[in-house]
């Protein structure tokens, strides 16, 4: 089933919060992302971005509230949710002895893909991420950016309805960044949704339909990154209002 035939909400945080011990890392978060939308989550170090992604992907359980993906509760329906997700975590990991092609075969098998169709699709992803020469080299011999491309190729392989990408541009060269942005736009035009984190405010302005600004575990603003409402009547581009939102007076 494609995202467009699915639920009207790709992502729904319903008052989802997270405590690590006594530390409240994420205050109750309410947020929606629609199919076809690219949503960027930005915020200073420690703001709670990776924690929110952990809740969205089921890697963390919410302390309060719930998180839904296409109408499925991430806590009670984790496998059905994972089938629809393409995830690149903050520290993507490929078994060091595997090549990107082998890692893609493994991912394909996990998602029930097999045979010539899988091999063909792997070739498409290797090409899309310019992994050509690196495709058959062990991950331990590859540069950081090349391993990041392999992780992204894995996320795209099964045509997920929701991409969840923690700092996806880190380590990518400018050509790879441009190509990733283009591919995400293609997939959202087909109805997929994207939630990604970034420290690059200009990137959020360029490719996100909406942006959420987190500060100290709180959603401080959400909206069009080219026209975001800030504190004290401030309004403008994300890069103009970000510091007003996140710097403590
Ligand atoms: P960054 O931009 O540095 O990646 P972030 O916005 O992704 O930061 P999180 O990693 O979600 O932030 O962290 C939010 C808060 O939760 C921080 O104060 C962090 O120290 C704390 N935290 C994160 N993981 C744990 C953990 N496993 N145990 C205790 N505290 C944690």
Q: Is the pLDDT of residue 248 over 70?
A: no
Query: Please, which residues have CB within 8 angstroms of residue 151's CB and are 6 or more apart in sequence?
Result: 88, 92, 94
Residue 212 sits in a domain whose CATH number is 3.40.50.300
Q: What is the pLDDT, as a whole number, of residue 81?
A: 95
**Ligand 1, from 23, 59, 62, 196: best to mutate by most atoms within 8 Å of Cβ?**
23
Q: Is the pLDDT of residue 3 over 60?
A: no
Query: Please, which residues have CB within 8 angstroms of residue 167's CB and are 6 or more apart in sequence?
Result: 90, 196, 197, 198, 199
- 214 CA distance to ligand 1 middle (Å): 12
163 closest CA partner among 45, 74, 55, 35: 35
Structure tokens, 21: 């011990």
Q: Is the pLDDT of residue 132 over 90?
A: no
Q: How confident is the model at residue 15 (pLDDT cuts 50, 70, 90)?
A: very high
First-to-final CA distance of the chain: 49
**Ligand 1, from 16, 50, 242: best to mutate by most atoms within 8 Å of Cβ?**
50
- 202-221: average pLDDT: 96
- 49 CA distance to ligand 1 middle (Å): 8
Instruction: Indicate whether 3 belongs to any domain.
Output: no
Q: How confident is the model at residue 6 (pLDDT cuts 50, 70, 90)?
A: low
Instruction: Indicate whether 2 belongs to any domain.
Output: no
Total structural domains in the chain?
1
Q: Is the CB of 42 under 6 A from ligand 1?
A: no
Q: Is the pLDDT of residue 234 over 90?
A: no
List the domain range (segments joined by +) for residue 185. Answer: 11-247
Q: Which residue's alpha carbon is at the smallest distance from atom 26 of ligand 1?
A: 20
Give the distance from CA 192 to its chain's centroid: 12
């Amino acid at each position: 089933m494609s995202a467009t035939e699915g639920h009207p909400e790709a992502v729904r945080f319903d008052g989802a919060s997270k405590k690590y011990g006594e530390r409240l890392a994420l205050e109750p978060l309410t947020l929606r992302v629609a199919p076809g939308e690219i949503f960027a989550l930005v915020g200073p170090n420690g703001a709670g971005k990776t924690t929110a992604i952990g809740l969205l992907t089921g890697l963390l359980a919410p302390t309060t509230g719930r998180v839904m993906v296409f109408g499925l509760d991430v806590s009670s329906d984790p496998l059905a949710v994972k089938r629809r997700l393409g995830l690149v975590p903050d520290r993507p990991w490929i078994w060091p002895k595997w090549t990107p092609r082998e890692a893609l075969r493994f991912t394909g098998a996990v998602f029930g893909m097999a045979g010539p169709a899988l091999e063909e699709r792997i070739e498409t992803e290797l090409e899309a991420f310019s992994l050509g020469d690196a495709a058959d080299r062990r991950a331990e011999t590859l540069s950081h950016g090349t391993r990041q491309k392999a992780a992204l190729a894995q996320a795209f392989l099964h045509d997920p309805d929701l991409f969840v990408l923690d700092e996806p541009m880190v380590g990518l060269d400018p050509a790879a960044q441009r190509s990733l942005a283009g591919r995400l736009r293609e997939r959202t035009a087909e109805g997929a949704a994207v939630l990604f984190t970034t420290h690059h405010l200009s990137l959020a302005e360029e490719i996100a339909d909406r942006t959420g600004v987190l500060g100290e575990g709180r959603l401080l603003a959400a909206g069009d990154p080219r026209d975001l409402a800030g504190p004290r009547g401030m309004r403008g581009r994300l890069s103009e209002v970000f510091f007003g939102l996140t710097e403590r007076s």
